[in-house]
Amino acid sequence: MNVIAKPAASPLGTPLAAALRSHVVRHTQKTFDWDAFPSNRGFPELARAQMRYIGAGGSPKVGEPGTLPPDHFTLSLIHKPIGNYAACHAHEIEESFLVLDGVLTVGWEREGEVCEVKLGPRDMILNARDIGHGFRNDGIEPVLMTISVDVGKPLPPRYLHHPKLGSDPVLSRAFGAAPGKTIPFDPAGDHPLQQLMARHVIRHAEARPIREAAGFQRRVYVGPGGVESETCRKEMWGIPAGIGVKPHAREVEDAIMVLEGSLTVGWEENGEAVEMELGPRDLVFNPAGRRHWFRNDGIGPCTAWTVIGSPAAETVKFEAA
């Protein structure tokens, strides 16, 4: 185990400390918005709540106080009640669904046929550009998931099957699939939708861990070694207690959201160092060029979801603190 050498942190009243605080989003200081998607008004079966961290995602509520402005990606939490669904729609850009709690059914539609996959905790799908897709909670508990749209300001979604368009409610709930037109997900299947979806689904248990010399591990979900993308890289990090890395910087922005445990994050500038501790579902957004580090001062492991504003392979050489 690495012994953490803690930097001498500056007082919290400095400009650098204020800048770090302005780039941290606390889960307990946010509120779920049940009216984030006005197109669903009047359709209780479509109800879902959004908590915006970076950008507005697919919601028209851009520039919300307390939500960080986006650059290459957005990031939000979505709460989906039992039995509810999101109507089939398409985007001009990729977006990922990472399940945190519950079981989510995701459907992809093409020419009246739909391939459906069930995702459990820490499973992810990267929804391809211009592919009709929707999601549904058929489970026995609410679903909590992160959604990340891979552009700062996405266009409004283009709905394909939605009750407001006059679609039959049964057809809408099935993402546009008539009876007998739903295909189960099978990575080894020969249907074109199965083959396409198989290249965009990541199971946590099947993602190969990359063990860094600094003492933590990365699982690449999107990027080299995971789902191919031309926009952003997305990874799950496992950071044992007592592990930390030295300051480093990227040419693009990155965001770290703690899923379990706690993580101390810090910034460095001109010899000054400031730091803050993040708890579950807290997030830090590190701008491009900002020297930053992380350290697990907790008594247990930390799991973190990381989004990097470039699809390229990792170039940071993490050094143990």
Residue 12: per-residue pLDDT: 60
pLDDT of residue 220: 98
Residue 73 scores a pLDDT above 70: yes
The amino acid present at 21, given as its one-letter code, is R
- DSSP-assigned beta bridge partners for residue 75: 54
How many Cβ atoms sit within 10 Å of the Cβ of residue 247? 17
Residue 6 CA: distances (Å) to CA of 1, 30, 147, 200, 302: 15, 30, 34, 40, 18
Average pLDDT over residues 144-149: 96
Query: pLDDT at position 262, please?
Result: 98
Q: Which residue has the tokens 């099978």?
A: 186
Average pLDDT over residues 132-155: 93
Joined together, the tokens standing for residue 213 give 């010399």
Mean pLDDT of 151-159: 83
CB 281 within 8 A of CB 304: no
Q: What is the pLDDT of residue 4?
A: 37
CB 111 within 8 A of CB 177: no
Amino acid (1-letter code) at residue 24: V
> How is residue 309 annotated by DSSP?
S
Residue 151: per-residue pLDDT: 85
> Per-residue pLDDT tens for 99-134?
999 999 999 999 999 999 999 999 999 999 999 999
Average pLDDT for 201-208: 96
Reduced DSSP (H G I as helix, E B as strand, rest coil) percent helix, strand, coil of the chain, to 5: 10, 40, 50
Beta partners for residue 176, in sequence order? none
Residue 203, helix vs strand vs coil:
coil
Query: Residue 97's CB: how many other CB atoms inside 10 A?
Result: 21
